Amino acid sequence: MRNQPKYNFFKNTTYALKGLIDLLKNETSFRIEVIITLILLPIIIFIDTNYTNKALLFITLMGMPLAETINSAIERVVDLVTLEHNEMAGRAKDVGSTIVFISIFIFIITWALILLDIYT
């Protein structure tokens, strides 16, 4: 059984915000993706398309910072375990980068297809 304190919504929210602030301070890629997200979120509201397409635009847009968060967590855990070069550590970090790459690919393809459908 895990040694885990009782769930507390407010305390857990504090931990989440602490993590968000840490990402914003220390991860350039995350900051860039947050800026892109903040620019494109209002655009989703004003694009003349159905709610399904808007949901797809939103989900794929939010997938980028989500993937970057997962990647950062993987990198930090790997660095906690070892700072020396280790093949498995490198492979774990590469998989984290792949998560980000796939999320960006899905974002670009989804947005391109929906915008092409709307404006052609």
Two structure tokens written together for 59: 């989900």
| Residue 68 appears among annotated catalytic residues | yes
Selecting among 27, 68, 84, 87, the annotated active-site residue is 68
Burial class (CB in 10 A: 0-12, 13-18, 19+), 110: middle
Q: Using an 8 Å Cβ cutoff, are 33 and 65 in contact? A: yes
14-39 as b/e: b if 16+ CB within 10 A: eeeeeeeeebeeebeebeebbeeeee
Q: Using an 8 Å Cβ cutoff, are 67 and 102 in contact? A: yes
Active site residues: 68
